[in-house]
Every structure is written in C-alpha cells, then in structure tokens.
Amino acid sequence: MVSSLKFSLRDMFLEGVRPLEKILGYIEVKGEEAVIDASELKHKEVNDLLRYTALNKVKKVEVINVVGQRYIGTRLHIPNPSPRLEIHIKGTPGNDLGAFLDGHRIIVHGNAQDGVGNTMDDGEIVVHGRAGDVVAMSMRGGRIYIRDNVGYRTAIHMKEYVGKIPVLVIGGTAQDFFGEYMAGGRVILLGLSLKEGEKHKAHYIGTGMHGGVIYLRGRVEKYQLGKEVGIVDMEEEDWKFIEEQVRRYCTYFNRDMDKIMEGNFLKLVPVSKRPYGKIYAY
Amino acid sequence: MRFEINRESERHLPDKDLQACGLFGVMNIEGKRFGGEMAIKAIVNMRARGNGLGGGYAVYGLYPEYKDYYAMHIMFQDRNMDAKKKVDEFLSRNFDIVYDEEIPTNPEARVMYPPLVWRYFVAPKKKGEDAKFSDDDYVVAKVMHINTSIEDAYVFSSGKDMGVFKGVGFPEDVAEFFMLDELYEGYMWTVHSRFPTNTPGWWGGAHPFSILDWTVVHNGEISSYGTNRRFLEMHGYYCTLFTDTEVMAYAVDLLMRRQGLPIEIVSKIFAAPMWDLIENMDEKKKKLYTTLRMVYAPLLINGPFTVIVAHHGEMFGITDRIRLRPITAGARGDLVFLSSEEAAIRAVSPKLDLAWTPRGGEPVVVRLKRKDHLMSLKESV
C-alpha cells in the first residue's frame, strides 16, 4: 500500500546548476569592481561567480537581488598574496553566510538568516540588520558585527587557539542559549534595542561554556545565566578591548560611542574549563 | 600521516540528508482572496529545504459557492475503484451529497504515482444514536471510520470552505498537478515542502495534515508521538497516516474546537515552559503553567518542531520551546507571513513593514480583521 519512493530522490542543491561559462551573463566586471545579479542564480552558482571574480583580480563585488542563496562567501580560499574580496550583499542572504570564510569581507545591507559565519576562519562580516539563530557557530577566527538582534544559540561552540581569537559584536539583544558551549573567542552584547533598565531576553546564557569571554552591556538576572558561567570584575585589558570593538561598531553603524560606553558592562567567564569532566569519569 | 584516496569513489552523494522541511503561510487579514502564486513562489525559494518527496497546500476561503457544506477531499491509493465504491456507499448512507467530482489534475505534472483524488460536498445525515453528536463531531467520527476501515481510501481534507491539496513531488509539482495557481483562490494559504518524518514518501503522508478545517504543516520530529497518540485515542482520534504530525492536527481539534481553549493557552500546552523558568515566574503564572503541565502532560509536544496551524480566520506559527527549528514572521500591508526563512517572504514581498522572530514556544497568532500578530513582537528579535 505504501510505495517506497526513495529512488526518486533528487538533488535539490545541485540539480540544474549551470557551468561557469553559462552564467557569466549574470556578472559585470569593471576593472577591480564587479556586480553579480543573483536573482536567477542557485546557491552554488553565486559562489562560482564569486570565485571567478576573486581569481580575476576583482577587489570589490556587489551581489544584488540576493534571495535566500546559502553559503555565500564559502569556497573562496585563494592562495596568498591575492587580494581579499569585499563582498556587498543587497537582499537577504540564505543560511550559513560566510561559512568557512577565508579572510574576505562581507557586508550585508539588510537582514541575515541562520548560521552567519559558521566555522568562519578569518575576515569580517558586517550585517546592517538582524541575524537569525546560531550566529558565529564554531567560529574560529575573524570578526562579525551585527547591528540589531540575534536569535538562539549565538556563538555556540565558538573557539580560539593561541593568537587566533574570533570576535563577535551584537548591537541588540539575543535569545536563549547565548554563548552555549562556548570554547573561546570574545563576544560583546550591547543591548541597544532594549529599553532603559530592561533586562536582556536570553535565558540559559553560557550554558556549558568552558572558554572565551562574554561582555554583556545592560541588565541580566542571575537565573538567566547558565550554571557554568560566573560574573567577574572587568580589568584594564577588558575595557581596552571593549572600547576598540565598540568604536568599530559605531563607525560601521553610525552610533554614538560615548553613550554606549556609559552603560554598565558585565564580564562573564566559565567557572570551569571542563564543566562535564567529572560526569562520565567513573 | 597520509590518507589513501579511493579513486573509484572519489565523487559520491553524501548519505546525510541535508533537507529540513520548508514551511510557509500567508493570510490577508482583511479576508481578500488571492491565488496560489505567493505560496508557490515562496516554497520554491526554499527548495533546499525539501527533497521532492512531499509537498502540500491548505487553502481557506476556497469554495465560497459550497461554503455551508463539508468539502471532503478523498484519495484512493492505486486508483482503487473498489475503495471508491465503498466510500460512495458509506457517504451516501451518512451524508447528503450535494455535489461530487474528480478533482481536476494535470497529467503532465512531475509527480509520482498519483492516486485518484475526488471531492464531495456533503451535509451530515444524522440518524438515531448519532443525533446527539454535533455536526463537527459527527464528521470527525465518519472521517475516522473511512481512514481506519476502508483500505486504500484516505480523507485528507474535511472542512468547510477550505481544502488541502498534497502529494509526492516538489511542492511546485504538486501545485502543477492540482493546477493551484490557475483554479483556486483563498484568503489564507499554508504550504509545506519535504516529506513525512520517518516514513517513505506517500500521498496520504504529505503535509498538511487536517481534520475538519484544522490543518497543520510541520518541520521537525515529534518524539512524544507515542504518548500523544495514546492520549488522543482516548478521545476518539485514531492515527492512520504513519507519521508524527497527524497527532498535532487532532490535538488542536481536541483542545481548540472541542475544549474551546485559545491558541495562547494551547501553545503553552504544546511547548510548555521549562520547570526552572516556571520557578522564576510570579505566583499567578506559576500556578497557571504548573496546572497546564500537569493536566495536559500527555499533550506536551517534545522534540524539535516548528508548526503552522490554521483554521478559518486564524493561523498561528510556533516552535518548540528551545527553538530547534526556525520561524520568521513578516508583515506588509494586509498580508501577514510565517515562514521557515525570511528570504522566502522577501521573495514574494521584497519590502516588509516588519520582520521578526518570536521566542521559542511563543506563538505568532494571525487573525482576520485583527492585529494580534503584533502581540508576539514584544518578546521577539
């Protein structure tokens, strides 16, 4: 009665993807600048064209009419000393924007979806709007600046190693599991979208966190924090770092730096480097 | 260390499924009817979320000329005419059939093994014992009878002035099969892409799932299915479609139609707040949420999910309480959208007055002639 239809499975990512020479009509290159019209392009085709521009000495690309194409900016590993691209996105990029990003710069003129900067390695992502869930998931280097709010599980399992420390700055507030299982990196949550005295929206902040630092501007109740984080005093170094990052944020999004720095900052760090180390030990 | 590269299998398709179900819903809150283009275009935009093994639509305000009659959409697997004969007899015995016809379909559409699909406009013909039932309860009982007792026949839509169209294929293929963009209009459309959880793709198993005018499209996996199903069986709902989402349709019918609970409460039954968050609420809320969790424990929907539930005049989107599946809401003029991805909304309405994402477990409720969807803005990002 129930017919198995497994054999009819079609590849929804690669089906209909055209070879590079067939899609060159969607790109216009003028010296070191280029424009890609993404309105009829599939996920892979956008990245094929971005790679094409990078290999052709283009420095600045504008991708227009983006509507949900995923993984934009991935697969752009280009041997040094080639210049890094500056990619401007007009429209709404799809999930995993800048996944594995290799030193390029992405500026989104609008909102971003889930998974911004997934396992990003180096470079910068600037979002002039809000972003969805799992921003900076497993991010291992580079910087991300989000103007407004972010969704669930921001900075989940962000990491660092020796001198490679990723940075994430969020202008608004975040939803639950902020900094979940964070293993490294620096995250700043500015709370600019909250009203005077309103507490941050996230619960379970830093659950399972075992590395890195969260700087939280504004109010948060103790019960909103996960069991694995503690609040410690800010030190000279912390203020220096916050100032530098807030300055960038204010430059990108045209905000008043002094007003932001007037706010109250909390520094959250993990209580233990191995919060679950003892659970399965015996 | 060097890895051996197996030259013979250098390129292969990954075994891992990368799809994730696409959901979309749109309502004109002034009740103005429109065609299927928006729903189709939005779901095509989220093609990467589907896999071609299922697609379906629910349309409200569909049959204004028969709006007083229950519109039954019934599929006959393998075009089983014997099943059709049994259904015809059963329906004539229990209903006045005002009109019936084969649902027009396009044989050119790229769908797999389409069944025979028929629609009946019926009025209950209650006799004897049955007279004590309300019309709605009577229809539910008869739908359950057909689904459980007549082999190869499935009622996949049974509400008034609305209808479900679904099948195996990409949603745009299913739309082409039923010619949705040409033949129909409604003031509210919901659509789903991908296929039923944990079952082979089959026509009855595609979303939306429905009973009366309640429809559900779902992304995720209901791990509490067993508990939910047993509880619903005690209330006369029998799960026959081999997949988890079905319980959601029956649960909303039970809670909202029969028990009269509002969406705002029902959403707290499905996605109950965690005990440690209840602990920090004020006394009144603590009492409410504790009571709900205790009385309706068997209807807690566990596991990752986003659903869009609709019935006449109302549509609501909700995720599980820790949001393991995405949802975005958008509004432009009289149109209010719910979607798995913001890009799909932008694909049909590039400019939006508002785009927001509610907290996990917090419903976005869209109602006709009201602005209730704005209530969810407060806790959203």
Predicted confidence band of residue B52 (pLDDT cuts 50, 70, 90): confident
Nearest alpha carbon to residue B372 among B320, B327, B329, B319 = B329
Q: Please check the confidence at residue A264 and state whether its pLDDT lies above 70.
A: yes
Residue A179 lies in a domain: yes
Q: In angstroms, what separates the C-alpha of B333 from chain A's closest C-alpha?
A: 20
Report the candidate in A66, A111, A108 with the shortest Cα–Cα distance to residue A87.
A108
State percent of chain B over pLDDT 70: 94
**Predicted confidence (pLDDT) per residue in A107-162, tens digit:** 999 999 999 999 999 999 999 999 999 999 999 999 999 999 999 999 999 999 99
The confidence score (pLDDT) of residue A4 equals: 41
Interchain contact, B341 vs A1, CB within 8 Å: no
Answer whether B357 sits within 8 Å of A43, measured CB to CB.
no
**Confidence category of residue B13, pLDDT binned at 50, 70, 90:** very low
Chain B residue closest in CA terms to A12: B48
Confidence of residue A272 (pLDDT cuts 50, 70, 90): confident
Does B130 fall in a domain?
yes
Measured between CB atoms, does B322 come within 8 Å of chain A? yes
Q: Report the chain B residue with the minimal C-alpha distance to residue A150.
A: B381
Torsion angle, alpha carbons of B279, B284, B285, B286, to 10: 30
CATH number at residue B239: 3.60.20.10
Sheet with strand A211-217: strands edge to edge: A27-30, A33-37, A60-67, A86-92, A102-109, A122-127, A143-146, A167-170, A183-189, A211-217, A265-270, A229-232
The pLDDT, as a whole number, for residue A261 is 97
CA distance A57 to chain B (A): 30
What's the average model confidence in pLDDT over B346-354?
Answer: 97
Q: Give the model confidence (pLDDT) of B296-321 as tens digits.
A: 999 999 999 999 999 999 999 999 99
Per the structure, the complete domain to which residue A263 belongs is given by 135-275
Give CA–CA dist B261/B239, Å, rounded. Answer: 22
Contact B349, B337 (CB under 8 A): yes
Q: What is the average pLDDT across B233-251?
A: 89
Considering only the beta carbons, identify the residue of B201, B242, B350 that sits closest to A5: B201
**pLDDT, tens digit (0-9, with 9 covering 90-100), for B232-241:** 999 999 988 7
State the Cα–Cα distance between residues A206 and A144, nearest whole angstrom. Answer: 19
Chain A partners within 8 Å of B14 (Cβ)? none
State phi, psi for A84 to the nearest 5 degrees: -85, 150
Hey, are the CB atoms on A12 and B328 less than 8 Å from each other? no
Residue B13 lies in a domain: no
Q: Which pLDDT score is estimated for B84?
A: 98
Q: Which chain A residue has its CA at the smallest distance from B199's CA?
A: A4
A220 in a domain, yes or no? Answer: yes
Domain for residue A91, yes or no?
no
A69 within some domain: no
The answer to whether the Cβ–Cβ distance between B48 and A70 falls below 8 Å is yes
Tell whether the model's pLDDT for residue B18 goes beyond 70: no
Residue A104 lies in a domain: no
Task: Please state the domain count of chain B.
Answer: 1
Q: Do A92 and B48 touch (CB under 8 A)?
A: no
| B115 falls within a domain | yes
For B353, counting Cβ atoms within 10 Å of its Cβ (0-12 exposed, 13-18 middle, 19+ buried), the class is: exposed
| Minimum Cα–Cα distance from B242: chain A residue | A2
Within-domain flag for B3: no
- Are B201 and B126 in contact by the 8 Å Cβ rule? The answer is no
Contact B45 A68 (CB under 8 A): yes
Instruction: Tell whether B79 lies on the interface with A, counting CB pairs under 8 A.
Output: no
Catalytic residue numbers of B? 21
Mark which residues 170-209 of B lie under 8 Å from A by CB.
Answer: 170, 199-202, 205
Residue B121 belongs to a domain: yes
* pLDDT score at A94: 97
pLDDT-derived band at B177 (thresholds 50, 70, 90) equals very high
Give residue B7's pLDDT band: very low, low, confident or very high (50, 70, 90): very low
Q: How far apart are CA A168 and CA B34, in angstroms?
A: 43
User: Is residue B10's pLDDT more than 70?
Assistant: no
CATH number, position A167:
2.160.20.60
Judge whether B47 lies within some domain. yes
Q: pLDDT exceeding 90 applies to what percent of chain A? A: 85
State percent of chain B over pLDDT 90: 84
pLDDT at A8: 53
Which residue segment(s) compose the domain that B307 sits in?
Answer: 25-377
Model pLDDT, residue B30: 98
Task: Say whether residue B52 is in contact with chain A using an 8 A CB cutoff.
Answer: yes
Contacts of B46 in chain A (CB under 8 A): 68
Per DSSP bridges, beta strands B70-76 and B364-367 are unpaired
Q: What per-residue string of b and e applies to B225-238 under the rule 16 or more CB within 10 Å gives b?
A: bebbbebbeeeebe
| pLDDT at site A5 | 44
Inspect the interface and report whether the beta carbons of A111 and B342 lie closer than 8 Å.
yes
- Residue A213, beta-bridge partner list: A186
The pLDDT of B73-99, averaged and rounded, is: 97
Q: Is the pLDDT of residue A2 over 60?
A: no
- Does pLDDT of B19 surpass 80? no
Instruction: Identify how many contiguous H helices and E strands chain B contains and give both numbers.
Output: 11, 16
Please tell me the predicted confidence (pLDDT) of residue B3.
47
Contact B355 A11 (CB under 8 A): no
B24 vs B246, residue with greater confidence? B24
Confidence of residue B14 (pLDDT cuts 50, 70, 90): very low
Strand order in the sheet with B22-28: B162-167, B55-60, B188-193, B22-28, B335-339, B328-332, B354-356
For B:362-381, CB contacts with A below 8 A are 379, 381
> DSSP 3-state assignment of A153?
coil
Q: For B313-334, what is the mean pLDDT?
A: 96
Query: pLDDT by residue (tens digit) across A56-94?
Result: 989 999 999 999 999 999 989 887 666 789 999 999 999
Q: How confident is the model at residue A258 (pLDDT cuts 50, 70, 90)?
A: very high
Average pLDDT over residues B208-235: 94
Whether residue B11 is predicted with pLDDT greater than 50 in this model: the reply is no
